[in-house]
Chain A
Amino acid sequence: MSAWWRVNRWSLLALVAILPIAAYAVLVPRAIPYQDSRPVYEEHALGDTVSYGGADFTLTSLDVLPGWRYDTGSETDLVVAIITVDVTDPRESTCDVRLVQSVEGVERSWNDDLFAGDYDVPDEAETLCSLSEAGEYELQQLYVVPRGVVTDPAVEVTLQEELPRALRLR
Chain B
Amino acid sequence: MRRGAAFAIGAGLVALAFVITFTEPDDDALEQPFPVRGDVGQQLVASKFATTLTQARLAGEVDADDWIGTTPGVWLVLDVSGEATIAPLGLDAELTVSGVDYDATTRYGEQTTDSVIAVGFPLVGSVLIELPADILDDAGARSAVLRLTPGFDARLDSVTEVVLDLTSLERLDRVEVEPAREAAP
Which of A's residues lie within 8 Å of B, judged by CB? 73, 75-76, 98, 106-111, 144-147, 149
The smallest beta-carbon distance between B89 and chain A, in angstroms, is 10
The smallest beta-carbon distance between A87 and chain B, in angstroms, is 27
For chain B, give the interface size range. 10 to 19
- Interface SS, A side: strand
Residue of A106, A107, A110, A147 near B118 (CB, 8 A) is A110
Besides A108-B86, A108-B119, A146-B121, 12 more A-B contacts (Cβ < 8 Å) are A75-B185, A76-B185, A107-B86, A108-B87, A108-B120, A110-B88, A111-B116, A144-B121, A145-B120, A146-B120, A147-B185, A149-B120
* B118 and A108 form a contact (CB under 8 A): no
The number of inter-chain residue pairs (CB within 8 angstroms) is 34
With a cutoff of 8 Å between Cβ atoms, the chain A residues found around residue B87 in the complex are 98, 108-109
Most chain B beta-carbon contacts within 10 A, residue among A76, A108, A147, A149? A108
Rounded to whole angstroms, the CA-CA distance of A147 and B184 in the bound complex is 10
The smallest beta-carbon distance between A116 and chain B, in angstroms, is 12
Rounded to whole angstroms, the CA-CA distance of A144 and B121 in the bound complex is 10
Rounded to whole angstroms, the CA-CA distance of A108 and B185 in the bound complex is 15
With a cutoff of 8 Å between Cβ atoms, the chain A residues found around residue B43 in the complex are none
* B184 and A109 form a contact (CB under 8 A): no
Output the nearest chain B residue to A73 by Cβ-Cβ distance.
Answer: B184
Output the nearest chain B residue to A150 by Cβ-Cβ distance.
Answer: B120
**Chain A CB within 8 A of B96 CB:** no
Output the nearest chain B residue to A143 by Cβ-Cβ distance.
Answer: B118
The smallest beta-carbon distance between B5 and chain A, in angstroms, is 12
With a cutoff of 8 Å between Cβ atoms, the chain B residues found around residue A146 in the complex are 119-121, 185
Output the nearest chain B residue to A99 by Cβ-Cβ distance.
Answer: B119
Q: What 0/1 pattern do residues 70 to 114 of B give for CB contact below 8 A with A?
A: 000000000000000111100000000000000000000000000
* B184 and A144 form a contact (CB under 8 A): no
Output the nearest chain B residue to A149 by Cβ-Cβ distance.
Answer: B120
Rounded to whole angstroms, the CA-CA distance of A135 and B85 in the bound complex is 38
Residue of B86, B118, B184 near A111 (CB, 8 A) is B118
Rounded to whole angstroms, the CA-CA distance of A107 and B118 in the bound complex is 14
Most chain A beta-carbon contacts within 10 A, residue among B85, B87, B118, B120? B120
Given A75-B184, A75-B185, are A108 and B116 also a contact pair (CB < 8 Å)?
no
The smallest beta-carbon distance between A31 and chain B, in angstroms, is 14
Output the nearest chain A residue to B119 by Cβ-Cβ distance.
Answer: A108
Rounded to whole angstroms, the CA-CA distance of A76 and B182 in the bound complex is 12
